[in-house]
Amino acid sequence: MMNHPALSVIDVSKRFGRVDVLRGISFEAPTGCVTAVLGPSGQGKTTLLRLIAGFERVDRGAIEIDGHLVGSPSVHVRPDRRGVGIVPQEGALFPHLDVAGNIGFGLRRGSRDRVDDMLHLVGLDAMSDRRPSEISGGQQQRVALARALAPSPHLVLLDEPFSALDTGLRAGIRDEVIGILRRTDTTTLLVTHDQEEAMSIADHVVVLLDGVVAQQGSPTEIYERPASVEVARFIGDANLLDARVVGGRIVHALGEQPCDRAEGPATVLVRPEQLVLFAGGRPGVVEKRAYYGHDGTLGVRLDNGELVSIRVPTADLAPIGTDVSVALNGRATIFAD
């Protein structure tokens, strides 16, 4: 038997009025993996999630879940028949129901054993009779996850589920929730604008910019080999330097390297961690300084006028106004203009 991806989005477009919100979106969510749809606010991420869940209709293209067509211009399977669990941003628990009642909502009568299993899975056995107002925000997110998992869905959708949590709690709750999903081998689609979140927990990342898929791949591929200047600028810190291709080499402020592109202007990407302070490097002056505890960054204005960010150990955080020399360790990523 052929193995289907848990989710296939095929050339999907959606328009509201005269606005094309999504244009020709295509990607797959591998079974049992965490896929992140990453993009700034207003790029169509929530619309895409609503199309997958069945809350909106597809204008063009197709959506398949577990190999079955659920959405197209001529087919629209109801949300409750798609086998999709949803964890919304705010949890959206029923305030009049206790924890067990929220988890069991929508299940058949006599499903108490399944509810107990879900309570145990998310570590809330002792809180089954509490109301949502009587538990913490992180615990509410775990209840929402248990409710989504209770019907054994083919796919779980997470809609910015951690953004409402306090910064101090966010990473811990995120790790707990993703850990539960991985232990249950649940195919997960996470919609987020948080780069660190997507890059740290996802197996597959789909970058959504201006209503189109700008790039997709593993977090390593997206970060180390961005497909465009726009992706490079959005994913992580990026030094984008003016360059020129001359005689089979590309020349920029921090050096040169072989290049097979046509001669002319270009742009190169250098990540802050690729730069080092080195006596034989390009002269510059420290204009900015940021301390993060484990390390820090320096903003150095090079003698040609370009400003670069350098990630350095805390011991190398030179004061503002210090003369330094900057060198590139490795190769720049090249984008032709």
Contact between 87 and 140 under an 8 Å Cβ cutoff? The reply is no
Smallest CA-to-CA distance from 65 within 77, 56, 73, 74 is with 77
pLDDT given for residue 322 in this prediction: 96
Question: Is residue 110 very low, low, confident or very high in pLDDT (cuts 50, 70, 90)?
Answer: low
Question: Is residue 216 very low, low, confident or very high in pLDDT (cuts 50, 70, 90)?
Answer: very high
pLDDT given for residue 150 in this prediction: 87
pLDDT in tens, 118-172: 888 888 888 888 998 888 888 888 888 888 888 888 899 998 877 767 777 778 8
User: Rounded to the nearest 5 degrees, what angle is found at the Cα of 278, between the Cα atoms of 272 and 279?
Assistant: 150
For 4, the token pair is 């289907």
For 159, the token pair is 């809609």
* 1 pLDDT higher than 80: no
DSSP at 28: E
Smallest CA-to-CA distance from 129 within 92, 99, 150, 102 is with 99
Note the pTM of the prediction, 2 decimals: 0.88
Question: Is residue 242 very low, low, confident or very high in pLDDT (cuts 50, 70, 90)?
Answer: very high
For 24, phi and psi rounded to 5 degrees? Answer: 65, 45
pLDDT in tens, 284-334: 999 999 999 989 999 999 999 999 999 999 999 999 999 999 999 999 999
Q: What is the CATH number of domain 7-227?
A: 3.40.50.300
- Ranges for all domains in the chain classified under CATH 2.40.50.140: 239-336
Three-class secondary structure of residue 253 per DSSP:
coil
pLDDT given for residue 41 in this prediction: 87
Q: What is the CATH number of domain 239-336?
A: 2.40.50.140
CA dist., res. 283 & res. 97, Å (int) = 65
Q: What percentage of the chain reaches a pLDDT higher than 90? A: 64
Question: Is residue 107 very low, low, confident or very high in pLDDT (cuts 50, 70, 90)?
Answer: confident
pLDDT given for residue 261 in this prediction: 87
* 337 pLDDT higher than 70: no
CA dist., res. 324 & res. 85, Å (int) = 54
For residues 48-55, give the mean pLDDT. Answer: 96
Average pLDDT, the chain: 91
For residues 62-80, give the mean pLDDT. Answer: 96
For residues 112-123, give the mean pLDDT. Answer: 86
Q: What string of DSSP letters covers 58-112? A: -SEEEEEETTEEEESSS-B--GGGTTEEEE-TT----TTS-HHHHHHTTSPTT-H
* 117 pLDDT higher than 60: yes
Count of alpha carbons within 13 Å of 15, Cβ hemisphere only? 10
Highest mean pLDDT among 56-65, 112-121, 176-185: 56-65
- Ranges for all domains in the chain classified under CATH 3.40.50.300: 7-227
For 216, the token pair is 């997709």
CA dist., res. 112 & res. 12, Å (int) = 39
* 238 pLDDT higher than 50: yes
Q: Which residues of 224-256 are buried (b: 16+ CB within 10 A; e: fewer)?
A: eebbebebbebbbebbbbebebeeeebbbbbbb
* 88 pLDDT higher than 90: no
